[in-house]
Amino acid sequence: MSQPSPPLIEGVDYYIEAGRWVFTAAFHRKRGYCCGNGCRHCPYGNAPADREQTSPPPAPPPPAPLLPPSQPDRAG
């Protein structure tokens, strides 16, 4: 069996805002991975503020136009 998790400490691991628990970056680092839910204090770059600051990747360049095949030299 796995060991029980240590108790969470208010003000260190979380705080309560408008009746909801908000986990701190310290809590997320202790957990050791990003859950992918866009947590406010995500230290893994998935916080809403992080996503707003990053621009989408640039669009790929348009394809090069197709050139007709070379014609043999008819002079001569």
Domain housing 25: 14-53
In a domain, 1, yes or no: no
Identify whether the C-beta of residue 8 lies closer than 8 Å to the C-beta of residue 14. yes
In a domain, 67, yes or no: no
d(CA 4, CA 64): 60
- Tell whether the torsion through CA atoms of 24, 12, 14 and 35 is positive or negative: positive
Angle CA 24–28–33, to nearest 5: 160
In a domain, 73, yes or no: no
Please indicate, yes or no, whether the overall pTM of this predicted structure exceeds 0.85. Answer: no
| pLDDT tens series, the chain, 76 aa | 678 888 999 999 999 999 999 999 999 999 999 998 889 999 998 888 877 665 666 777 777 778 777 766 666 5
In a domain, 49, yes or no: yes
In a domain, 61, yes or no: no
In a domain, 76, yes or no: no
In a domain, 66, yes or no: no
Domain count for the chain: 1
